[in-house]
Amino acid sequence: MANVSYKVAIRDHSGNIIARFSGLGRPQGGGMSGVSYVRRLRDPDTVTLPIFGADPRITEFMLDPSPGDYGGLDYLIEVYRRDLVGGLPFTRDATGLLRADGADQNEEGQLFYVANGTGLNVWHYAEEIAYPSGSSQSSKSGDVATVAAEFVDENIGPNAGNDNDGQSRVRPYLTIVAPTASGVTWRGGRSYKLLSDVVQELASRANAQYKIENHCPEDASGTPDFRWTWKSIYGKDVRPDNTAGNPPVVFSALQGTASRNRVGINRNNDLTSVYALGQGRESSRRRSDVNDLAALAASPWARRAVSRNWSSAYPTAELEAAGFATIEAQKALPDVSFDILQTPAVRYKREWDLGYIVRYIDYFGREFDITVISVGVGLAQDGTETITIGGELYNG
């Protein structure tokens, strides 16, 4: 642990840091007893911060369970990490909005307070596309990246406006980074659909990733700064055969750079067929049937069909696109996860990071190119650090 250090800052809604925790504390004096977090693309990060109960700083931000009181709701929990072996200074590695907490006592009678943070990507799950069917805000066409940015901007970004009760839908301090065109086009209407569902559909269409990033001043008070970012490749291509000349990164149990490997897939929830229902009533209602022909050919018993309503869709091509998007969203993805063993060739944050494309070799010698879509980091009370990768097969 002497080679890796951690500290945590708690930031209020105005960007002021109201508490700092550095290194591991002690039961009698307070401080943090560890920290863990998972960084993700598309989905929200999570941060778990256990603090010894004797620490008086807890009352500066803890949630208040009293009716009508909220305490430090949505204060930012920022985790900073330093790697002396990797030559990396303290940098912010994770951010969570304080949404849950609690006190607990272990078998030895030690009291702990635990703060739980949820990453900024949770804002995608917090709004629907609250515009009527046919409006310019709910029905769009164009490059997938541009359409995704518009949906985010008009529902949680600077142009989200107010709801009909006069309450703002804008997430303060959030800006939209103009994305580079993906070269993939899309057309559709998504009135009153959950924003996260729509943006994930668009990202899957273009094989892209997105994340709301925290750009607040590092370890210092200052105006909050959050940026929604969309990228075709979120990190770097570090496969052995990459064309950019990046040093290769290979994770393999056989080569001593990975352990506790898991590669599997569960197709129980796959869809093969969708009845896409459009405008009209009863027998005159428009309907387009779409199928995953490869899955149907793979097994005589593979068929699993559902109907979905898209009353705002009119052209057949639009109905078919919505149907195929439903199949794609339900399709099982390989579950790839493993712990990394920190060697000079695979040092976290130096040779690879979230969003990088890496080579993975499993116990059977099978090779996979994967996008790192999640990174789990944990610091235990004894100072032991663990790092776990979650990946999905790269389709570029």
Q: Per residue in 85-98, pLDDT tens?
A: 889 999 999 999 99
The whole-number pLDDT of residue 69 equals: 84
Give the tens place of pLDDT for each residue, 181-224. 999 999 988 999 999 999 999 998 898 999 999 999 999 999 99
Q: What is the mean pLDDT of residues 352-371?
A: 93
Q: Is 56 exposed, middle or buried (0-12, 13-18, 19+ CB in 10 A)?
A: exposed
The whole-number pLDDT of residue 260 equals: 86
Residue 12 predicted with pLDDT over 80: yes
The whole-number pLDDT of residue 2 equals: 58
Confidence class of residue 169 from pLDDT cuts 50, 70 and 90? very high
Q: Which two tokens stand for residue 256?
A: 């001593």
Q: What is the mean pLDDT of residues 63-75?
A: 89
As a whole number, the mean pLDDT across the chain is 92
Give me the DSSP letters along 158-191.
TT--B-TTS-B---TTEEEPPPPP-S-EEEEE-T
What share of residues in the chain are helix, strand, coil (percent, to 5)? 15, 40, 45
Q: Which two tokens stand for residue 334?
A: 């390989």
Q: Which position has the higher pLDDT, 130 or 263?
A: 130
Percent of the chain with pLDDT over 90: 73
Q: Which two tokens stand for residue 336?
A: 């790839």
Q: What is the mean pLDDT of residues 283-291?
A: 89
Percent of the chain with pLDDT over 70: 98
The whole-number pLDDT of residue 289 equals: 94
The whole-number pLDDT of residue 182 equals: 94
Q: What is the mean pLDDT of residues 259-266?
A: 84
Our separate counts of H helices and E strands in the chain read 4, 21
The whole-number pLDDT of residue 314 equals: 62
The whole-number pLDDT of residue 197 equals: 94
Confidence class of residue 65 from pLDDT cuts 50, 70 and 90? confident
Q: Which two tokens stand for residue 165?
A: 């009760």
Q: Which position has the higher pLDDT, 261 or 221?
A: 221
Report the amino acid identity of residue 349. Answer: K
Confidence class of residue 370 from pLDDT cuts 50, 70 and 90? very high
The whole-number pLDDT of residue 266 equals: 85
Question: DSSP secondary-structure letter at 89?
Answer: E
